[in-house]
Structure 1
Amino acid sequence: MTQKTILQRDDPKAEPLIGNVRVTRADWLNVAMDVLISHGVEQVKVLALAERMAVSRSSFYWYFKSRQDLLDALLKTWEQTNTAGMVGQATVAAETITAAVLNVWRCTADPELFNTALDFAVRDWARRSGPVRHLLDQSDARRVEALTQMFQRYDFPDVEALARAKALYYMQLGYDMAGLNESGDYRLRMTAEYLKVFTGCEALPEELEEFTTYSLKFWTS
């Protein structure tokens, strides 16, 4: 995969910065997120971030009131990406339950829908912070509820819908956390079998073909 450009000034497609501005609010967030994912929340420090971007620490306060303000913005970004992404995909209209699950599984391919590394970083953060743990619990509940409602729309009984939603969601978390050394091609070959396990239904060939085409845009780029 192509490495995402962190700083706007390093992106040839970005609009040029105006005046004396060397970094934007998004730059501070992107670098902070990169550090959060790579080194943990304890290393998300204003001075260290400024040194990494080769800018004055004072420019931080153009955009944020405090380090806590930055941390709150990181959590908001996480919720707007991961929780909103999964909930949104669970509500996309689909003809069958297998197509609906494949819509959700787009989150495993597209980091714009679900940033797996960021989710792991927030989960690690939650082990050290009660308030973050509370936010994580709320987000997990929202995701499971959206998946439950997805199964219910295809006439699964309430308890079965909840059980399937939890199995689907927590399997995906564990699958990603295991860091299995599997190629995209292998995962795609297994998709039809996974769908039978989680839905009890056979996927249509055209559903699998559409998912494959979508996923390969990310897994081979």
Structure 2
Amino acid sequence: MLAVKTWAMAPAALRRLGANRLETWLRNRKVRGAKALATAAVDAAGRQHTAVVGEKVIAKMVHTLAKEVMALNEKIAETDKLIEGRFREHELADVITSMPGIGPLLGGEFIASTGGDLEAFPTPDRLAAFAGLAPTPHDSGKSSGNLHRPQRYHRRLQRVFYTSALTSIQRDPNSRRFYDRKRAEGKRHTQAVLALPRRRVNVIWALIRDRRCYQVEPPVTLAA
């Protein structure tokens, strides 16, 4: 958003500021690629000497909108910190975040969606169905064995499992082996990724039941 504010400055103002000062200004606000952005902005300003009608008014409007968005982002960051603080107070916080891919925010969503315990979910299948990760039969008088995604399920909880699954493929050897095994079975990338959240339901259900944290199981090696 700071980049938007930079490009919204009038060309004359950018030329007066200069690339070095603009770069310093951007770096102080932790903007990525500050040097490249400053150079590109000042170079573009150096090539533009024709004043556009309403240029100053538009630049001011964009600048104001950018400030409002930045203020909103700060409020969101503050809210995220509050959510994390409340989540850390829960007795299952360490258990839930031990699952690769689940941090305080997704963990907070998990607790908010499930109530923070397994009273309503006596089996992992019940939890999977609640999250929309267990297909339900859709049979008719002439056919049977047809399975479809349930029409009613908790979308936020499903998001927790899908989002964390995508992250876990890169960070968790167990998830990666599961994904690779599905690919070896002929599954496409999307199919392999979609299969992982259902497996993770079983894992987190068992962890909560036993009040224990997730551990990466080392691959089995045969003695020489």
TM-score strictly above 0.5: no
TM-score after normalising by structure 1: 0.25
**TM-score normalised by length of structure 2:** 0.25
**Which of the pair is proportionally richer in helix?**
1
